[in-house]
Amino acid sequence: MPPIVLVLNGPNLNLLGSREPSVYGHETLADIADLCGRTAREHDLTVEFRQTNHEGEMLDWIHGARQRCAAIVINPAAWTHTSVAIRDALAASELPVIEVHLSNVHSREAFRHHSFVSGIAQAVLCGFGSNGYRLALEHLSQQFKR
């Protein structure tokens, strides 16, 4: 069985493609899910791609990953900057975590410069657009082969 990578997306990312294209581009979340699916097939991974606007649901998904998944790729969206609970759940999973942001959060408002997640993440990708998800999956596939 190929290793399972859980790809998680936080609040408002379901709106991608419909608004703020100058910041987030024209791709929809469905386009990014397709990209992750293609990348998984090329690199012999299984990807489970999910989005939620409900923090408790996100926490339940992270808790459930511990026994089943090999790694978590997460775009926590606004929870990046607010949620100790998401950070604690990711740390408790004891899985490799890669934090992904479409935009370069460091070139934006000051409140986006701090991440509660980065300190427990193995790696952080920001500003690569949807390519960040692909790069995260490619990196994990290489890591699993070692």
Binding site for ligand CA2 (CB under 6 A): 12-13, 15-16, 19-20, 24, 75, 77-78, 80, 101-103, 105, 112
Task: Give 13 or 90: the residue with its C-beta nearer to ligand CA2.
Answer: 13
Task: Give 103 or 122: the residue with its C-beta nearer to ligand CA2.
Answer: 103
Place of tokens 């790694």: 71
Task: Give 93 or 130: the residue with its C-beta nearer to ligand CA2.
Answer: 130
Bridge partners, 16 (sequence order)? none
Q: Which residues contact 6 (CB under 8 A, 6 or more apart)?
A: 48, 50, 61, 65, 69, 71, 72, 73
What residues are annotated to the active site? 24, 101
- Cβ 20 to ligand CA2 shortest distance, Å: 4
Nearest C-alpha neighbor of 61 from the set 48, 45, 46: 48
Distance of CA 64 to the CA centre of its chain: 16
